Amino acid sequence: MKLIRATFALSLVALVLLPAASHRSQAVAPVAAVAVVQRRVSLVLTNGKIFTADGRGTIAEAVAVDNDRIVAVGTNAEIARAYTGARTVDLRGRLVTPGFNDAHIHFIGGGLSLLRVELVGAKTLAEAKRRIAAKVKELPTGAWILGRGWDHTLWSGQWPTRADLDAVAPNNPVFVQRVDGHVSWANTLALSKASVTRETRAPEGGEILRDADGQPTGILKETAAALIARVVPEPTRAERMQAAERALAEARRFGLTSIQDNSGYEATELYRELLQAGKLTVRVAEWGNFEDSVEKLNAQRAEFATFKIDPLRIRLTAIKGYVDGTLGSRTAAMLAPFADDPHNSGIPRRPPEELTRMIVERDAAGFQIALHAIGDRANRMALDGFEAAREGTRKVNAHQADADLAFRLLARHRIEHSQVVAPTDFTRFNDLGVIASMQPSHAISDKRWAQDRLGEYRVQGAYAWHMMRSFGVRVPFGTDWPVEPINPYLGLYAAVTRQSTEGEPTGGWWPQERLSIADAIRCYTAESAYASFEETQKGQIVPGMLADLTVHSRDLLTIKPEEILQTEASMTILGGRVVYEK
């Protein structure tokens, strides 16, 4: 192998010198032709359009891959002259990008949603009830009916009630989550099994909706949902494994090669088993639970280290916590009341002082922190906590500039969603090095009512990924599946158009926040790799990087924006291995 590499290097030197020597003097005798020794590699992609995502807009034609790494990127002629592949794929002009890296996903939950009642897209209450009634027919009397995806803003805007569910499932407890996962809807039997009555008090950070007589209506917001969740049977291990395998199939189909997953530490056991069986077709950066004690988090970290797993396949990164709820359910924590609900400013999960204490404690223990924050108050609470953590770093470092840089690069704390941000807080993201992890499809799902919730002034700081990037903030993209579809092409479309899938409004909703398609792809690849401390390993198509690639059915860089929605993954390549081919 050393001889082959040396011969190849000498051949390249000769090829480079040959034209220069000939140009210097016609009297010089011609240099003898040097035979180029081709290197045999595992895979060559040729005759394509290779978007390297390197930040300079570099486009190549071919890629050589050996085992799990990219070894060369260049023109068709350059790669053909130097490499021969055990498999060569003629791309026929198709676009290749780094593999999609979903920076915020609930992978096991998404897989479970495929096994349960699917209420996403139910345009009326009647349609939602029909879907639940169909599931009742499939299950025995008394079995729990679980699912998610309903959205009352598609109906009349009024909350549904337990009576609506009782009409179609009188003998089965029903517990189904709203599309955002922050509000749950239960029937009378489910409330009874959980002993939720008119006397039941909602826990801190939650609310139980009640009728005129004080009886629970069946709607439980935020932490109140735990009152029923605690009596719902946990999915069996077999069900969780089935969910993981279904989710992996979806990921392959949509060109995902990496996920940053909200499924929790326990999910790593499933992923380890799948990896051992050769079935884990994504790279996993798994998140722990911010609510757990530092002692428990340290114990999990120590235990995981004993498994000796390749950290490029499964690794622990952030710990995930919640600051507030969502805009759709009016539980996002706001600095001022909702424009369409003047007595409501949302529901913070905990007091600011407690949040800051927990952030500082976990930062000091060396954990990357990812906090769900939707409202402008929630984002400010998270930033305040991160700033307090930075001050702690300064206290142990005499040189303030060094301490600030260390905090930015080593902590890489994140705010998940960052949906509504006060104007003065955008610069704080950059100053603190806080990552704004965003999901573009939320904007086109929420735009039907977002301005009514926020008012014309606040909405200008909402879903502001272009604004974030203009301040130098790192902005990785994800889907939040199953809150939104796992399809990254929907996210790309939303990022570059800010229009519904029907093309409304013309020109886009607050169009100044649109991104170029090249920048949107980088947010799904290079920026996502940075968010999980893996920018030296993946996210770009350059020599030495992991060969995680997506081949697309259409040229995303040149097609009309509406055609992005018709684009598919033609091929998904993980570590140089083709794991999906349409």
Domains and CATH numbers, the chain: 38-93+540-582 (2.30.40.10), 100-316 (3.10.310.70), 323-495 (3.20.20.140)
Q: Is the dihedral of CA 337, 343, 347, 352 positive or negative?
A: positive
The letter for the amino acid at 538 is: K
What b/e readout covers 281-315, taking b as 16+ CB neighbours within 10 angstroms? Answer: bbbbbbbbbbebeeeebeebbeebeeeebebebbb
| Torsion sign across C-alpha atoms 19, 24, 25, 29 | negative
Angle at 181 between CA 565 and CA 336, to 5 degrees: 95
Locus of tokens 């495929």: 114
pLDDT at 234: 92
Using CA of residue 136, residue 140, residue 142, residue 144, what is the dihedral sign? Answer: negative
Specify the pLDDT at position 398: 64
- 577 and 550 Cβ atoms separated by less than 8 Å: no
Segments in 407-497 forming alpha helices (H): 426-432, 441-446, 450-458, 465-470, 488-497
Q: Of 393, 387, 427, whose CA–CA distance to 410 is shortest?
A: 393
Picking from 284, 418, 419, 290, the residue whose alpha carbon sits closest to that of residue 360 is 290
- Angle at 487 (CA atoms; ends 279, 51), nearest 5 degrees: 85
CA 496 centroid distance within chain: 17
Residue 35 has a pLDDT of: 54
State the CB neighbour count (10 A cutoff) for residue 373: 30
Q: What residues pair up with 118 in beta bridges, in sequence order? A: 148
Segments in the chain below pLDDT 70: 1-36, 398
- Decide: 219 and 160 in contact? Cβ < 8 Å: yes
Distance CA 36, CA 14 (A): 10
Inter-residue contact 99 to 258 (CB < 8 Å): yes
What pLDDT score does 36 carry? 66
Reported for 347-350, long-range contacts at CB under 8 A and 24+ positions apart, including other chains, are 347/205, 347/206, 347/207, 347/221, 347/222, 348/205, 348/323, 348/324, 348/377, 348/378, 348/381, 349/204, 349/205, 349/222, 349/223, 349/322, 349/323, 349/324, 350/204, 350/205
Whether 518 contacts 65, CB under 8 Å: no
C-alpha 150: how far from its chain's center? 21
Question: Which residues, at least 6 apart from 401, have a Cβ–Cβ distance to it below 8 Å?
Answer: none
| Phi then psi dihedrals of residue 440, to 5 deg | -60, -35
Question: What is the DSSP code string of 485-554?
Answer: -S-HHHHHHHHHH---TT--STT-SSGGG---HHHHHHHHTHHHHHHTT-TTTSSS-STTSB--EEEESS
Spatial CA neighbour of 450 closest among 460, 437, 436, 465: 460
- For residue 580, the model assigns a pLDDT of 98
- E strand map for 58-144: 59-60, 62-66, 69-74, 83-90, 95-98, 100-105, 117-118
